[in-house]
């Protein structure tokens, strides 16, 4: 427990530092590191890490996607964009497939493409939230991460006191239906409280849509649960306990960000549509 607490405090301090410099290159570098780290853990867990050239292409694409905003911010290489990187990445992976088609089947290149594009899109959603909403983007990212992570606390307490019916006993034996309900409601309430404090006391220049935020909080709990269970299925099928050891007592990047992978693009869409906060 002591190791988990210390690890959490260190991670929290780093997160605060990154958010303080969210409008600089620090955010892009941090998200790039998380994205590449998560992809490495996934390729290692699924046995794809042995294909080194393909992995290098995946990691390079992910890093470039995260850093391209930083490049544009300084007004250089404006012709570069995500679509160009996507075409180049897919071309490299498929080119390697044609070259080594006798060594592996079609599932390998398309798994590389699918994993890389989805994971990269999810993490870069956090960058886009800040870049596209400069007046409240940092708070929006904090709300997004809270929506992905805090449901577990409510689910834990609800499951401890009221949990009777297992949700997915094979995938995650400790999760209960009662816990999910408790975590869902708790998530909505917590995000609502955060929005009230921010809108009333910190940034009065934005309009908070409280009903939408409460509903979004509950939906985040359910969306995040899908990411959590999906990542757990991979661990079950590959026979690993944790994706990594980068956070002592917690596991790897994927162990902490599995729910964020779905919540981040979901919240990005909500913020972009003006359903939660408007100026």
- Residues 26-80: tens digit of each pLDDT: 999 999 999 999 999 999 999 999 999 999 999 999 998 898 866 655 555 555 5
Phi-psi region at 274: left, alpha or beta (left = phi > 0; alpha = psi -120 to 50)? left
165, burial (CB in 10 Å: exposed 0-12, middle 13-18, buried 19+): exposed
270 shares a domain with 139: yes
Max alpha carbon distance in the chain (Å)? Answer: 63
Residue 107 reports pLDDT greater than 70: yes
Between residues 269 and 74, which one has the greater pLDDT?
Answer: 269
- Residues of the chain above pLDDT 90, percent: 54
Residue 251 reports pLDDT greater than 90: no
**Residue 198 lies inside a defined structural domain of this protein:** yes
100 shares a domain with 218: no
**Residue 68 lies inside a defined structural domain of this protein:** yes
Beta bridge partners of 166: 176
For the whole model, what pTM was predicted?
0.89
**First CA to last CA distance, the chain:** 43
38, burial (CB in 10 Å: exposed 0-12, middle 13-18, buried 19+): buried
232 shares a domain with 105: no
**Residue 18 lies inside a defined structural domain of this protein:** no
Domain boundary residue among 103, 133, 163? Answer: 133
153 shares a domain with 187: yes
Q: What's 173's DSSP letter?
A: E
Predicted local distance difference test score (pLDDT) of residue 175: 85
141 shares a domain with 121: no
59 shares a domain with 178: no
Predicted local distance difference test score (pLDDT) of residue 80: 58
278 shares a domain with 157: yes
**Residue 29 lies inside a defined structural domain of this protein:** yes
Residue 178 reports pLDDT greater than 60: yes
Range of the domain at 78: 24-133
Q: How confident is the model at residue 84 (pLDDT cuts 50, 70, 90)?
A: confident
Between residues 3 and 14, which one has the greater pLDDT?
Answer: 14
Residue 252 reports pLDDT greater than 80: yes
- Residues 128-175: tens digit of each pLDDT: 999 999 999 999 999 999 999 988 887 777 777 776 778 887 888 788
278 shares a domain with 163: yes
- Residues 195-235: tens digit of each pLDDT: 999 998 898 889 999 999 999 999 999 999 999 999 999 99
Domain boundary residue among 64, 99, 133? Answer: 133
**Residue 3 lies inside a defined structural domain of this protein:** no
Q: How confident is the model at residue 257 (pLDDT cuts 50, 70, 90)?
A: very high
Q: How confident is the model at residue 111 (pLDDT cuts 50, 70, 90)?
A: very high
200 shares a domain with 225: yes
**Residue 205 lies inside a defined structural domain of this protein:** yes
Q: Which residue has the tokens 């509903």?
A: 215
Pairing outcome for strands 277-278 and 172-176: unpaired
Domain boundary residue among 109, 133, 157? Answer: 133
Asked whether 93 and 113 are in contact (CB, 8 A), the reply is yes
**Residue 156 lies inside a defined structural domain of this protein:** yes
Number of domains in the chain: 2
Could you give the 3-state DSSP secondary structure of residue 254?
A: helix
Between residues 194 and 167, which one has the greater pLDDT?
Answer: 194
**Residue 171 lies inside a defined structural domain of this protein:** yes
Mean pLDDT of the chain: 87
Q: How confident is the model at residue 82 (pLDDT cuts 50, 70, 90)?
A: low
93 shares a domain with 39: yes
Predicted local distance difference test score (pLDDT) of residue 62: 94
121 shares a domain with 56: yes
141 shares a domain with 278: yes
Predicted local distance difference test score (pLDDT) of residue 14: 87
């Amino acid at each position: 427990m002591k190791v988990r607490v210390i690890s959490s405090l260190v991670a929290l301090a780093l997160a605060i530092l990154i958010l303080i410099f969210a409008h600089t290159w620090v955010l892009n570098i941090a998200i790039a590191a998380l994205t590449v780290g998560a992809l490495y853990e996934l390729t290692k867990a699924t046995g794809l890490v042995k294909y080194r050239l393909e992995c290098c292409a995946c990691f390079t694409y992910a890093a470039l996607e995260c850093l391209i905003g930083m490049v544009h911010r300084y007004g250089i290489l404006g012709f570069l964009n995500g679509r160009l990187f996507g075409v180049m990445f897919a071309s490299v992976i498929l080119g390697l497939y044609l070259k080594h088609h006798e060594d592996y089947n079609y599932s390998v290149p398309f798994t590389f493409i699918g994993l890389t594009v989805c994971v990269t899109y999810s993490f870069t959603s956090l960058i886009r939230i800040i870049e596209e909403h400069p007046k409240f983007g940092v708070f929006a990212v904090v709300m997004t991460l809270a929506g992905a992570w805090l449901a577990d606390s409510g689910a834990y307490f609800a499951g401890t006191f009221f949990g009777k019916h297992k949700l997915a006993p094979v995938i995650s034996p400790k999760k209960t239906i009662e816990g999910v309900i408790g975590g869902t409601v708790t998530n909505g309430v917590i995000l609502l409280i955060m929005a009230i404090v921010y809108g009333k006391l910190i940034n009065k220049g934005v309009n908070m849509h409280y009903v939408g935020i409460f509903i979004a909080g509950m939906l985040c709990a359910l969306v995040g649960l899908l990411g959590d269970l999906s990542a757990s299925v991979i661990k079950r099928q590959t026979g690993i306990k944790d994706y990594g050891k980068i956070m002592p007592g917690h596991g790897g990047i994927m162990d902490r960000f599995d729910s964020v992978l779905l919540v981040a693009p979901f919240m990005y869409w909500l913020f972009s549509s003006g359903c939660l906060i408007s100026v």
